[in-house]
Amino acid sequence: MPKIKAIHHVAVVVDDMEKSLAFWRDALGIELHELRDVPAEKSQVAFLPIQGAEIELVLPTSADSGIAKYLAKRGPGMHHICLEVDDIAGMLAQLKQKNIRLINEEPRLAADGKQYAFIHPEATGGTLVELYQI
Q: Binding residue for a second copy (CB under 8 A) from 10, 32, 35, 89?
A: 10
The rounded distance, in Å, linking the Cα atoms of 101 and 120 is: 6
Residue 100 binds a second copy (CB under 8 A): yes
Q: Does 4 bind a second copy (CB under 8 A)?
A: yes
- Binding flag, residue 93, a second copy (CB under 8 A): no
CA distance 25 to 110: 26
Residue type present at position 108: R
Is the distance from CB of 8 to CB of 54 less than 8 angstroms? yes
51: left (phi over 0), alpha (psi -120 to 50) or beta: left
- DSSP, collapsed to helix, strand or coil, labels residue 132 as strand
Which of 40, 73, 111, 125 binds a second copy (CB under 8 A)? It is: 125
Does 110 help bind a second copy (rule: CB under 8 A)?
no
Q: Which residues bind a second copy (CB under 8 A)?
A: 1-7, 10, 12-16, 19-20, 23-24, 26-30, 50-53, 55, 57, 75-78, 81, 83, 91, 94-95, 98, 100, 121, 123-127
